[in-house]
Amino acid sequence: MTLNYEEVIKVKNSLSFKNQAFINGKYVNSISGKVFENYSPVDGALVTSVAECDIEDINNAVKAARSVFEKGSWSRMAPNKRKKILFKLADLMKKNILELGLLETLDMGKPISAATGDIAACISCLNWYAEAIDKIYDDVAPTRDNIIAMITKEPLGVVGAVTPWNYPLLMAFWKIAPALATGNSFILKPAEQSPLSALRVSELAMEAGVPEGVFNVVPGFGPTAGKALGMHMDVDKLGFTGSTEVGKLFLKYSGDSNMKRVSLECGGKSPNIIFADAPDLDLAAKQAADGMFFNSGQVCDAPSRLLIEKSVKNEFLEKLVEYSKPWMPNDPFQPDTSMGSMVDENQTSRVLDYIETGKSEGAKIITGGEQVRKKSGGYYIAPTIFEGVKNNMKIAKEEIFGPVLCAIDFEGEDEALDIANDTDYGLNAIIWSNDLNKVHKIAKRIRSGKVLVNSMSDGDMSVPHGGYKQSGFGRDKSLEAMGQYTQTKLTWIELK
């Protein structure tokens, strides 16, 4: 999408905000009447006040979602009809792409070009699952002649999702699209930092023809609204994306309530392994910077541990510093800005604290390391690279979730593999090498849900996304995700 600054500002100045909860096809205040203030990290200004949902609001959303599920107006609708409605929703989102992107830029500070790119990715995701639903067949088992044993997939019922702020709509759509496509009712609790785009999409869903009660959005805080959804006795499944710490709470909520199914997309500390025989060191350095500083480093599978083979370390770091320069933060509403703000003041202080920790642990900053654009009133951090990092340092072990890259050096493939696997996380790993035997051996031994070779990108809906170890379990994207929103039924018919 080609963006023009004047047009961006014109649309931004004409924005109005949907700031009530969306339950049973209507915008409503929270039952308590409470609201919370939504500030933009772009300039620190108040955007709007948003309904603060709690247990009673969640109860109402679940009641509506259950009731429409039982009626069958969505859950039993012919798949090719559901498909058309989802296509229409995708079209409406496309018509409103700049507005939806602007809501995300205002909410969490990502550049408008990236924000509209995310909305485009939501649209592709929705179209992908909509296209799939009338092309997937159930099974008949190879049993005795007088038996018909049908193995069918049925929707789960009421699906809840609790999502983070780093990709406000996209992380939600990786769940919304397969869940709605398979006939479930859906309740989204977006992150408190970024509820506005999901609230706007709610009315587009109604306009597209999604029946009332099928799609609900309940803004609010984690320990209240999020917990209420996780603990609800009539929610069949909870899809969570967020930190490992909160992911573990959802397992407890499930155990303490109705044993609802839980899938977890959690944190990461992904290794990006640069061997001296990388096919193109220059490309590897560019992608190391692009992958780390995109979205201000607030990316679950960011390549935040850079493992460099000693013999090419100096050459590689020189290139890397050059490639990090275009990532200096700028005004997120300018179409050519590559890095915008951090999500808020808290996250900014957290990242700055990690930078201080890195220095005190003895790692050396070779670029960045400070807050910038303070006069804007917003929260911006320069792309930062530490070298001389040891894998047992706090900055190498913990997820910083900001534009801070830790360079660790190694000698030989065994050491690279040991360092790569020496982490609690297992979301992503990248290997740069021309040696197919070495690549294949390491790819098989790395304990992570994804291994990317000689490229940083896995941007296609047809492939699964998810983690090993404490990065979570379950998969978003691809046909595998549909299995997370359906359950398997055996119907055994004995003929005379």
C-alpha angle with apex 83: 81 to 85, nearest 5 degrees? 75
Query: Shortest Cβ distance from residue 458 to ligand NAD (Å)?
Result: 12
Pairing mode, if any, of strands 237-241 and 158-162? parallel
Query: Shortest Cβ distance from residue 87 to ligand NAD (Å)?
Result: 26
- For residue 335, what is the DSSP state? T
C-alpha atoms less than 13 angstroms from C-alpha of 462 in its C-beta half-sphere: 1
Q: Tell me which of 52, 99, 192, 265 is the catalytic residue.
A: 265
Pairing mode, if any, of strands 26-28 and 21-23? antiparallel
| Residue closer to ligand NAD (CB basis): 96 or 166 | 166
Beta bridge mates, 147: 494
Helix 97-108 and helix 112-132: axis angle, to 10°?
120
Number of helices (H) and strands (E) in the chain: give both, helices first. Answer: 16, 22
Catalytic residue status for 300: yes
Q: Residue 337: what are its φ and ψ, rounded to 5°?
A: -75, 135
| Residue closer to ligand NAD (CB basis): 251 or 328 | 251
Contact in structure between 327 and 336 (CB atoms under 8 Å): no
| Residue closer to ligand NAD (CB basis): 249 or 306 | 249
Sheet containing strand 26-28, strands side by side: 26-28, 21-23, 215-217, 185-189, 158-162, 237-241, 261-265, 472-473
Tokens representing residue 48 in the block: 């709007």
Q: Residue 151: what are its φ and ψ, rounded to 5°?
A: -110, 105
Spatial separation of the C-alpha atoms in residues 300 and 321, rounded to whole Å: 22
Query: Shortest Cβ distance from residue 298 to ligand NAD (Å)?
Result: 7
Query: Shortest Cβ distance from residue 400 to ligand NAD (Å)?
Result: 10
Query: Shortest Cβ distance from residue 388 to ligand NAD (Å)?
Result: 25
C-alpha atoms less than 13 angstroms from C-alpha of 183 in its C-beta half-sphere: 23
Query: Shortest Cβ distance from residue 102 to ligand NAD (Å)?
Result: 21
Q: Tell me which of 53, 122, 300, 406 is the catalytic residue.
A: 300
Closest CA to 166 of 325, 45, 338, 344: 344
Please tell me whether residue 404 adopts helix, strand or coil conformation: strand
Query: Shortest Cβ distance from residue 220 to ligand NAD (Å)?
Result: 8
Binding site for ligand NAD (CB under 6 A): 162-166, 171, 189, 191-192, 221-223, 226-227, 230, 241-243, 246, 249, 265-268, 300, 399, 401, 427, 467, 471-472
Q: Residue 234: what are its φ and ψ, rounded to 5°?
A: -115, 20
| Residue closer to ligand NAD (CB basis): 231 or 308 | 231
Tokens representing residue 279 in the block: 């096919």
Spatial separation of the C-alpha atoms in residues 358 and 56, rounded to whole Å: 44
| Residue closer to ligand NAD (CB basis): 226 or 358 | 226
| Residue closer to ligand NAD (CB basis): 59 or 67 | 59
Residue with tokens 């979301």: 427
Query: Shortest Cβ distance from residue 193 to ligand NAD (Å)?
Result: 7
| Residue closer to ligand NAD (CB basis): 118 or 387 | 118
**Position closest to ligand NAD via CB:** 222
Contacts of 364 (CB under 8 A, 6+ apart): 386, 387, 388
Catalytic residue status for 322: no
| Residue closer to ligand NAD (CB basis): 101 or 268 | 268
Q: State the catalytic residues.
A: 265, 300
